[in-house]
Structure 1
């Protein structure tokens, strides 16, 4: 018998003093394994002459090596920047053996459709309570499932989310410390939970400083640049211009800033801007955008790590992981100093 065929993942795991799951991830090039551990495992595998049967892998494991990532709605509210960021992070973290399928919960209308795609596991980037029905259906079908971005009420599903209330409250506090007292807000889609949290957090900071915001200076966008441009034009023609505008994502801030420049307003001297998300381009805007860094990379890494654990190990009822992560304030040059 060829000795190479006698070497298994468990053989390597025992010699490396790690789990067979870690060995599998290391040999598949996963970023979830520390470089030193990956190197040790690879060296052991090479020394033992380990040869995986790649053609038979799908049959042996009964896996399709397909992970479904579902957004709330791809046509409304999910900006191209956020979509690109999530997919990029997911591909960088996920084992190279896996492919991604991108869809929205609104398009996934039946359990039969989910079964037909034969997903190994599903990640939901949830923005709305409207996703709850889809989440329930996926759970009932027995798919390994992780919900990201929105804090859900149930505790039987791994859930990693972001504290948008605190993020927007902290960025409002910063603008107030810089001497601003008259604000405008460009909101995102009204059915998104992130929008509710960002608006409430911002207003909470104003209330703590006995500040109010005129309803005429609160406009609705859809998280895309064009909507930010349109909303800002409405604010500029209202006759009551704020000194600082909070755009509830960076993409709308881009459109809003361009509207100011097109109409002859100086940014940030006349009108300051705050964004949210800290997309890759934010630091290259002129002026650089002061914003809230949404830790998308962290929740994607946690989500994929958890999904892989669900696939590789028997889940324990009392081991469901949940975490709410606070965002970080990123100060650049788009908020002027109005302190006397």
Structure 2
């Protein structure tokens, strides 16, 4: 394996000079720098990040944490988040992905192991983790949930407005018997989407029927089960707002399994606008929640925090958008 000392011998300079040249230091004259870089290229030199980490006290690792990877995090949500972060962070960083619920205690989370942490926060149960990361003085950006600490950068979408728009769309199409398949209990997004649903019904003076609120778990199976429950009611709803697209896809399948049709027999609306939403049959009307965009902004902010060590907090709000497709019928 080629080392800095090998390059130094061939270039007839000290290994400190080589190190500075490879790190683009202004202290090294341009001709010397060029000569060293050419020799390094000829020898196929690659820097040893572990050794470099010890010298610079950097781990070259960014942690991407979720409240849980196995409980209540849909595969599409996980993929969109990782894709967004991965698009931004440089090749010099390793990306470490984990669920907070994998840890019994947080001592492995320290500033020797992580240069920065992005938290896709889904629940207030994450607060002890956030407090620990701050105590360790690890740069932190929180996605998906507002936190009470003004010193933290947060990137969130307005889920309450998005779900309100979805339910308003159903009401505008003549629906009054509107059910909700809720997200995972304890998740902030589930709470906000239900609040948006209730707000739309209240504002339009539509009667709220408690039997029309069914708990889900953000996965297709729970959407399927919840829709079966709604279809078994003595007076089933004419429309269902699903708190995410995975549950909406499960709900569509439950309707077809009964020999019924969407949207002729029942209308269905989702939330997230995952990739599958435009390929379901019928194509799913849903609320576009730009998870990848939120994750990109989170990654950009963590990189700038790592570089500048700036600790001023900021709340960045990303808008949702109602995407109208074919899964809602107009009732005359």
TM-score surpassing 0.5?
Answer: yes
Deviations 1:114-165 (A, max 9, x none): 1398122111111111111111111111111111100111101111111111
Contact in 2 for aligned 1:164/1:327 (Cα 8 Å)? yes
In the other structure, the counterpart of 2:153 is: 158
SS at match of 1:70: strand
In the other structure, the counterpart of 2:9 is: none
Contact in 1 for aligned 2:21/2:37 (Cα 8 Å)? no
Structure 2: 5+ residue stretches without partners: 1-11
2:219 corresponds, among 215, 219, 224, to: 224
1:334 corresponds, among 302, 327, 331, to: 327
Could you tell me how far apart the structure 2 residues matched to 1:176 and 1:71 are?
A: 35
1:286 corresponds, among 276, 281, 286, to: 281
In the other structure, the counterpart of 1:86 is: 81
TM-aligned CA distance change 1:285 to 1:59, over 3 Å? same
Greater displacement, 278-287 / 174-183: 174-183
TM-aligned CA distance change 1:284 to 1:46, over 3 Å? farther
In the other structure, the counterpart of 1:54 is: 47
Structure 1: 5+ residue stretches without partners: 16-44
- Structure number with greater Rg is 2
TM-aligned CA distance change 1:7 to 1:131, over 3 Å? closer
1:265 corresponds, among 252, 260, 264, to: 260
TM-score (norm 1): 0.83
Could you tell me how far apart the structure 2 residues matched to 1:181 and 1:46 are?
A: 73
Contact in 2 for aligned 1:108/1:114 (Cα 8 Å)? no
In the other structure, the counterpart of 1:27 is: none
2:228 corresponds, among 203, 228, 233, to: 233
Q: How many residue pairs get matched?
A: 306
Could you tell me how far apart the structure 1 residues matched to 2:82 and 2:71 are?
A: 18
In the other structure, the counterpart of 1:312 is: 307
Greater displacement, 2-11 / 149-158: 2-11
Q: What displacement does 1:323 show? A: 1.1
Deviations 1:249-297 (A, max 9, x none): 0000010100000001110111111000111111111111111111112
TM-aligned CA distance change 1:170 to 1:10, over 3 Å? farther
Question: What root-mean-square deviation, in Å, do the aligned CA atoms of Structure 1 and Structure 2 show?
Answer: 2.5
Could you tell me how far apart the structure 1 residues matched to 2:122 and 2:213 are?
A: 21
TM-aligned CA distance change 1:143 to 1:6, over 3 Å? closer
Give 1:1-340 correspondences, 5 Å limit: 6=21, 9=24, 11=26, 54-55=47-48, 57-115=52-110, 118-315=113-310, 317=311, 319-338=312-331, 340=332
Q: What displacement does 1:6 show? A: 4.2
In the other structure, the counterpart of 1:20 is: none
